[in-house]
């Protein structure tokens, strides 16, 4: 596949994204350089696109992804992959707050740590973080799975709905309405099948699998203890 190089610098983001879209529609592999941690790069990339961002990027990179394979070589700001439907995003370093917010499908792989509220309101897909996830990760996740290999911050899985948060390592504290369920052998095999292609499978890990206690599914406003006790 031929490759095209697109420079960010101080150029208008709209122009940059139009050039990226044109190259992707032409079937070219895209390398984006001189990123300067700019925001809103690579939005709504199409199925089959293959793009690499050299350096670090700002907020919302890869948002609304519809099937592209995206690699961010260093760090990213808030909301990487927000609302993505499918595809793959790999972050070589740290991912800022709300990684994978409201995503409905696809996979996000963070090689470093991730900030607060990983997978907030996610409705499907998978987020794998090799390091630690920040406070309130999994907050109100309706579906999907978050897998953290390096522990979790405070209020983990707060107000979780029907998603799952898997953690190997220390958890600072649990959020509201969270239960720790013992994963079955079949479930562990399923998680290892996700980690295997990333080179991260390890059957020696001790997992904690967080699911909803479902008290908030049926709470009444008069029962303030169900949602105020953190």
For the chain, the domains span: 1-102, 113-217
- pLDDT tens digits, one per residue of 122-179: 999 999 999 999 999 999 999 999 999 999 999 999 999 999 999 999 999 999 999 9
Position 228 scores a pLDDT of 57
What's the pTM?
Answer: 0.94
Across the beta sheet with 50-53, the strand order is: 3-7, 29-33, 50-53, 66-72, 86-91, 107-110, 123-129, 143-148, 164-168, 207-212, 178-181
| Residues 119, 143 contacting (CB under 8 angstroms) | no
Instruction: Supply the pLDDT for residue 218.
Output: 76
pLDDT: is 47 or 224 the higher one? 47
* The two three-digit tokens of residue 64, written as one number: 């609304």
Residue 230: what pLDDT? 43
**pLDDT at res. 167:** 98
């Amino acid at each position: 596949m031929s490759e095209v190089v697109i420079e960010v610098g101080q150029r208008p983001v709209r122009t940059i994204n139009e050039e990226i879209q044109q190259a992707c529609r032409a079937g070219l592999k895209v390398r984006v350089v001189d990123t300067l941690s700019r925001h809103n790069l690579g939005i709504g990339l199409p199925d089959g696109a293959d793009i690499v961002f050299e350096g670090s990027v700002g907020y919302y990179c890869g948002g609304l992804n519809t099937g592209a394979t995206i690699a961010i070589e260093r760090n990213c700001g808030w909301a990487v992959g927000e609302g993505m439907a499918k595809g793959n995003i790999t972050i070589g370093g740290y991912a800022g707050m709300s990684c994978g917010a409201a995503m409905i499908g696809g996979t996000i792989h963070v090689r470093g740590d991730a900030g607060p509220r990983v997978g907030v309101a996610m409705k499907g897909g998978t987020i794998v973080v090799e390091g630690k996830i920040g406070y309130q990760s999994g907050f109100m996740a309706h579906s999907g799975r978050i897998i953290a290999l390096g522990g979790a911050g405070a209020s983990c899985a707060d107000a979780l709905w029907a998603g799952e948060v898997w953690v190997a390592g220390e958890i600072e504290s649990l959020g509201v309405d969270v239960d720790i369920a013992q994963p079955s052998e079949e479930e562990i095999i399923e998680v290892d099948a996700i980690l295997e292609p990333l080179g991260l499978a390890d059957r020696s890990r001790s997992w904690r699998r967080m699911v909803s206690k479902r008290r908030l599914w049926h709470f009444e406003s008069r029962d303030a203890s169900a949602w105020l006790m953190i």
